[in-house]
Structure 1
Amino acid sequence: MVRQRNERGQTTLLIIGLAVVLLMMAAVVTDASAAYLQRQGLDTLADGAALTAADAGASGDEAYGNGLDVDLHLDADVARAAVLSYLHRVGAYDRYPGLSTRVSVDSSTQRVIVEVRAPIHLPLHVPGSPEHADVAAVSAATVGVDE
Structure 2
Amino acid sequence: MLIAAVVDASAAYLQRQGLDTLADGAALRGADLGATGEDVYHGGVPADSLALTPAQARAAVGAYLQQAGAYASYPGLTYAVRIVGDRVEVSLHAPLDLPLSVPGSPERATVGAEGSAIVGVDG
**Band the TM-score falls in, shorter-chain normalisation:** over 0.9
Residue of structure 2 aligned with 1:140, choices 106, 116, 123: 116
Structure number with larger C-alpha Rg: 1
The equivalent position to 2:80 in structure 1, one of 98, 102, 115, is 102
Find the residue that maps to 1:103 and give its secondary structure.
strand
Whole-Å Cα distance in 2 between the matches of residues 90 and 67 of structure 1? 30
With the length of structure 1 as denominator, give the TM-score of the two structures: 0.78
AA matched with 1:102: A
The farther-off stretch of 57-66 and 90-99 is 57-66
% same residue? 57
Matching residue's letter, 2:32:
D
Q: Which runs of 5+ in 1 are unaligned?
A: 1-23
Report the secondary structure of 1:46's partner residue: helix
Q: Give the TM-score taking structure 2 as reference length.
A: 0.92
4+ residue segments displaced more than 6 Å = none
Deviation at 1:71, TM superposition (A): 2.5
Residue in structure 2 matched with residue 56 of structure 1 by the alignment: 33
Which deviations, in whole Å up to 9, do the C-alpha atoms of 1:32-70 show, x marking residues without a partner?
000000000000000000000000000166179523415
State the AA in 2 paired with 1:42.
Answer: L
User: Which one has more relative contact order, counting CA pairs under 8 Å at least 6 apart?
Assistant: 2
Gaps of 5+ in 2: none
- Give the number of aligned pairs: 122
1:131 deviation in Å?
Answer: 1.2
Task: State the one-letter code of the partner of 2:109.
Answer: A
